[in-house]
Structure 1
Amino acid sequence: MLINSDNIISSATGIQQGEPLGPLLFAMAIDGVARSIASPSNIWYLDDATLGGSIEAVAADPRRVIPALSLLGLEINSSKSEIINLNYTADDFESAIRDIRLILEDIKITPKEELHILGSPVFPMAIRECLDTKRVILTRMTEKLQLIDAHLALFLLKNSFSLPSFLYTLQSAPCYLEQNFLNEIDITVKRCAELICNVNFDDTGWRQVKLLLRFGGLGLRSAVDLARPAYLSSLSSSHELIDEILGGSSQCFSGSLWISIASPLYYLLHNRVVAPGSTQCPLHLPVPF
């Protein structure tokens, strides 16, 4: 139960964790705080916020936001927050870090090459590392799938461990630019399917295996084949939202197609800001370079 002064509220009262209205009520509660941000880049996803702007603006917003969130019963966990230097000089960035750490003492410095937002890689090096990690995981799963029934193993490979396990990455980042890494993933899927089915697929056989079941294939989709359409379809479906975030700046939109435009990251990157991350009531504080 919750005790507020003389009032006792039963724990069974109101919205419970996991219920559909939970995120909506949370968003409504922090809406005023989110809209009070003065930084040029201000992107929130529930309790995950990314701020971007000059170091002065980025430092000023947390000073105002942290007390406001405390009044709502929320606090920022600085140890889970992060700041990314996109184009500051080393000296300027050191100065920026000192200012930010006066507010968020334990904030982490994340290299651009490791930058992920909402689980999606941003820069080319991060995309390569992400795809290679997916390949390594798939390789390990191949060894385990050989230990179970072939029908079950093939079902799991097709519907869980192959393309479905990283489709979100293909949709939210321009992975189609990294053909070599996608090829390695396809080769790993092919080897796994060969071990499960106890056959060797030549080029013609592998092309048929990649077809849908209704076309006589096994439905093992190719990362190389689907990376571009997956990304472009996601980009198309989110175009209006992106345009709204960018304030109608279609010129900017068309200028950097390689960026993960299908996510709010694009705005952050286009304005070349530093992006720090957040936690309990996540907060990202960007600094312009």
Structure 2
Amino acid sequence: PHRRRAVAFAGLRVSAVAWEELATRRPGHTALTAAARHSHCKRLAAEGDLARACTALTAPPALAPSPDTLVSLQAKHPQAPDLSALGSPRPGAVPDFEIEAVAQAVQGFKRGSAPGPSGLRADHLREALLSAHADEVATDLTGPRVAGLLLASASEVGVGVPSGCDVAVHATRAWLHHNSGHADKILVKLDFRNAFNSVDRTALLRAVRADSPECACWADWCYGCSSRLLFGDSVIQSTCGVQQGDPLRPLFFALVLQPALAAAEGPLDLRYAFLDDVVLAGSSVPVCRALDRLTAEAARVGLVLEPTKSEVVVPNSGICPLASCGVAASLSCWAPLLAGPPTATMELPDAQTALLLLRYCASHVKLVHAARVTPPPLHEPALLEFDERVRSCLEHIGALTLTQQAWRQACLKVRLGGLGLRSASRHAPAAYIAYVSACAAACSQLDPNFRLDLSQPVATYNAAVAAGDRVPPAPQHVRQQQLSAALDAAELAAIQ
């Protein structure tokens, strides 16, 4: 029976790919019909690839091949001189990772993720690790993502730093708060123009050979010659930058950027990068001098600042983008985009698939990062509005009208009798408390004067849970899962 089901499923998948993704994409017709999008979404959801299922439902169609589009793509991939002058790399000693570490890294890859230069998808590797030859396969493979953890720099929070993006936001917000009103303090946020496609591969390969010889052969395999990018019937030669699909892409970029970050070292309060976004903060004169040195050093490796995407922030509560008014303005701009996935699930004719996507891709998960890095009062109105949109979608999918008690139950976990549609507004304090405490040590490395006041979110959280689940004013090492479980327990007790 299992073999017959596997054969039937494979046949269904092949026919779906051949018909929906090839036959319906005729020249000049890049947009799928609504019925085809819904069928594609349902098929991906049935395979367990919920993220791609949601993307199939909401993503805009690809641009049709045209001369103008081809010219724009070619401009995104500047040409570089021949790399043959570098010579062949010296094979470095491959790190001897434990089998368990490699297996854990492979199991952590997203289902359905695209292959790298080897052509092997994460699903292929995951299946191999489940076979009788798992030990042999795991011994012969090295987990590139694990290597990245060993080679990260303290000033680069985009590689090898858990929750690095959260660390960057919390450290920056705390600095702006503590320096509010200071006459001579500034913060600059720098962005490089087309950074990942423009970085000099000669500099990249030299940096990898010098700082990470274990990865030199891999880097030369990926970047030692021109990459061929296909667009319709045209071929674009990519001779600069790092490529999507390379698991070491963030690490390689960070290695190339390190000399520029080192050149910016000086009497600054903050100096860090999250991949190609660089932040410098402190008194105006040292920041300007550091900016000049960083700009000059970055230009040596093909990186040019993009003025239209770079910002100068004055720590004044009236104009700072991380203050209350700035957060409100940003959320108002993003509201239509955040509302897109929940609303799109209402179009699906299959109610079961629609509910599945609403639970895992289009409800609270859309705002998890915002809840982790934003003080709850600053975006509470937006979270309440988002919760109402999710409720409306659920009512439309189920063709029903929910009472307030029924909606509260729907927001509980499935194992508690709910639908798993976690309330973004109710769980926001738990997310913020957990991630401020988790990021505190890393934030202190960026800014020794780091501190954030958690009294208000802690008070809000403690008022919503049982007495035994309350946390101290400055909690240490608390997990969001633990805090949210206490909120669910209190909510369940209240509606019973």
Instruction: State yes or no: 1:21 paired with 2:248.
Output: yes
User: Higher Cα Rg: structure 1 or 2?
Assistant: 2
Cα RMSD after superposing both structures: 3.2
Amino acid at match of 1:123: A
Q: 2: distance between equivalents of 1:176 and 1:184?
A: 14
Contact in 2 for aligned 1:138/1:189 (Cα 8 Å): no
Q: Select 2:382's aligned residue among 169, 173, 181.
A: 181
Q: 2: distance between equivalents of 1:202 and 1:235?
A: 35
Matched positions, count: 227
Amino acid at match of 1:49: V
Q: 1: distance between equivalents of 2:302 and 2:311?
A: 22
Which residue matches 1:283? Answer: none
Amino acid at match of 1:227: A
Instruction: State yes or no: 1:75 paired with 2:304.
Output: yes
Which residue matches 1:31? Answer: 258
Which residue matches 2:346? Answer: 146
Instruction: State yes or no: 1:127 paired with 2:127.
Output: no
Q: CA deviation at 1:192?
A: 1.5
Q: 1:101-151 CA deviation, whole Å, 9 max, x = no partner? A: xxxxxxxxxx53xx3xxxxxx222233334445544455555543321222
Contact in 1 for aligned 2:317/2:323 (Cα 8 Å): no
Q: 2: distance between equivalents of 1:88 and 1:171?
A: 21
Pairing of 1:108-119 with structure 2 (within 5 A): 112=320, 115=321
Q: 1: distance between equivalents of 2:254 and 2:262?
A: 11
Q: 1:210-242 CA deviation, whole Å, 9 max, x = no partner? A: 111111111111012110001111112111101
Q: CA deviation at 1:65?
A: 2.0
Moved more, 124-133 or 236-245: 124-133
Structure 1 stretches lacking a partner, 5+ long? 90-110, 116-121, 260-289
Q: CA deviation at 1:8?
A: 7.6
Q: Select 2:409's aligned residue among 202, 208, 211.
A: 208
Q: 2: distance between equivalents of 1:6 and 1:139?
A: 52
Amino acid at match of 2:384: N
Pairing of 1:211-230 with structure 2 (within 5 A): 211-230=412-431
Q: 2: distance between equivalents of 1:28 and 1:50?
A: 17
Q: 1:137-190 CA deviation, whole Å, 9 max, x = no partner? A: 455555543321222222221111211111111111113454333222212211
Amino acid at match of 2:446: I
Amino acid at match of 2:423: S
Which residue matches 1:239? Answer: 440
Q: CA deviation at 1:194?
A: 0.8
Amino acid at match of 2:429: R
Contact in 2 for aligned 1:135/1:184 (Cα 8 Å): no
SS at match of 1:201: coil
Q: 2: distance between equivalents of 1:231 and 1:155?
A: 26
Which residue matches 1:55? Answer: 284
Moved more, 7-16 or 73-82: 7-16
Structure 2 stretches lacking a partner, 5+ long? 1-79, 89-200, 202-218, 224-241, 458-496
* Change beyond 3 A, Cα 1:5–1:153: closer
Which residue matches 1:253? Answer: 451
Amino acid at match of 2:396: L
Q: 1: distance between equivalents of 2:388 and 2:86?
A: 63
* Change beyond 3 A, Cα 1:52–1:67: same
Query: Looking at both structures, which has the greater relative contact order when contacts are Cα pairs under 8 Å and sequence separation is at least 6?
Result: 1
Q: 1: distance between equivalents of 2:399 and 2:251?
A: 50
Q: CA deviation at 1:54?
A: 2.4
Moved more, 80-89 or 181-190: 80-89
Report the identity percentage. 25
Contact in 2 for aligned 1:135/1:188 (Cα 8 Å): no
* Change beyond 3 A, Cα 1:152–1:130: farther
SS at match of 1:53: strand
Contact in 2 for aligned 1:190/1:206 (Cα 8 Å): yes
